[in-house]
Amino acid sequence: MAGDAAKAAEVVLLMGPPGAGKGTQATRVAVARGLTKLSTGDMLRAHVGAGTELGKRAKAIMDAGDLVPDDVIVGMVRAEVEAAERIRFLFDGFPRTAAQAAALDALLADQGAAVTAAVSLDVPDDELVRRVLQRAEVEGRSDDNEATIRNRMVVYHEQTKPLLDYYDAQDKLATVDGVGSMDTVTERIHEALA
Ligand code: ADP
């Protein structure tokens, strides 16, 4: 069969600590592979910007560097997945907890699909702090200050990093060195997914 409709389902997860460069790489990899990028951080920031009820609840949590409740996040993702004609997604910053990972599996199974690969961008902690503080100057994100960054790192190590083992146990994990030029890292991700 020819045509877009026949394109196989593909679900790539881009994982890694705050400041690892997920957002930049997610956009590039999604375009190159014909995937729809879904960034839960961007979706939440859009709600905050639009002043929705969800945005009002999320803002304080995000500014503290804590995680927005799983049911809120899963609800947002479910709406996108169920509305999609094809299951071809690149997730940026999701899942971040074991509950989110389980919910994603169930959601995809309902559509006859599954996670294809999880890419973990590996960057040392001191480099992460340096990058996020630099980004604070350029973008002015309200959660890019030193106290919040430290909490986001702790939350990542405690809640999200264990998910790498979950995907590794399914032979779906690719760990990619996230230190280097943006182009170099993009190339490494493509190689890991090839
Ligand atoms: P970063 O990875 O650089 O911290 P994100 O844009 O991915 O940035 O996330 C910013 C904030 O949005 C997080 O600190 C958290 O409060 C919230 N958030 C984003 N994605 C999720 C998620 N999957 N689960 C819970 N909270 C999330």
- Identify the active-site residue in 78, 86, 141, 150: 141
Q: Is 135 an active-site residue?
A: yes
| Cα 102 to Cα 97: distance, rounded to the nearest angstrom | 9
Banded pLDDT at 6 (limits 50, 70, 90): low
Q: Hey, what CATH class is 9-177 in? A: alpha beta
pLDDT in tens, 31-44: 999 999 999 999 99
User: Residue 36 — φ and ψ, nearest 5°?
Assistant: -85, 125
CA of 95 to the centre of ligand 1 (A): 10
pLDDT in tens, 78-111: 999 999 999 999 999 999 999 999 999 999 999 9
Give me the residue spans of the domains in the chain: 9-177
Provide residues with CB under 6 Å of ligand 1.
18-19, 22, 40-41, 44, 61-62, 65-68, 73, 93-94, 96, 100, 143, 152
pLDDT above 60 for 4: no
- Strand extents, DSSP E, the chain: 10-15, 36-39, 88-92, 117-122, 173-177
Q: What is the atom index within ligand 1 of the atom nearest the CA of 132?
A: 3
Banded pLDDT at 180 (limits 50, 70, 90): very high
Question: For residues 90, 17, 99 and 172, what is the CA-based torsion angle, rounded to 10 degrees?
Answer: 50
pLDDT at 136: 84
pLDDT above 50 for 175: yes
Closest CA to 65 of 144, 123, 121, 127: 144
Length of the chain: 194
